[in-house]
């Protein structure tokens, strides 16, 4: 199986469950959700479709944590996905400094 290249990634929830949205190199939207040790990744033609799509799932933490950092996401999926070097830490609806 070829590794899917993710070119954009935005963390949309800093609290639990951890969620990201972004774009794959082929233009599809990607939705990532991590909660209670279960990591889910979906793809679709829109952000909503990606969130509702059948997902790739993997139990990645037996401690049943509710939050995840990008480094852990990369380690858990390195055989399937190539993620950007960093995620954009802006949270939807959050007003930044300045």
pLDDT at 63 over 60: yes
Overall average pLDDT of the 34-39 stretch = 90
Does the pLDDT at position 20 exceed 80?
yes
* pLDDT exceeds cutoff 50 at 97: no
Mean pLDDT of the chain: 83
Cβ-based neighbours of 46, under 8 Å, separated by 6 or more: 29
Q: What's the mean pLDDT in 73-97?
A: 71
CB 81 within 8 A of CB 3: yes
Q: Is the separation of the CB atoms in 50 and 42 below 8 Å? A: yes
pLDDT attached to residue 1: 64
| Contact in structure between 10 and 30 (CB atoms under 8 Å) | no
pLDDT at 64 over 60: yes
């Amino acid at each position: 199986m070829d590794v899917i290249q993710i070119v954009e990634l935005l963390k949309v929830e800093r609290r639990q469950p951890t969620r990201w949205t972004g774009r794959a190199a082929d233009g599809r939207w990607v939705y990532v959700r991590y909660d209670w040790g279960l990591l889910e990744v979906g793809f679709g033609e829109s952000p909503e479709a990606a969130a509702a799509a059948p997902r790739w799932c993997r139990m990645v933490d037996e401690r049943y944590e509710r939050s995840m950092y990008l480094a852990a996401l990369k380690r858990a999926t390195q055989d399937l996905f190539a993620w950007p070097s960093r995620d954009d830490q802006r949270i939807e609806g959050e007003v930044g400094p300045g």
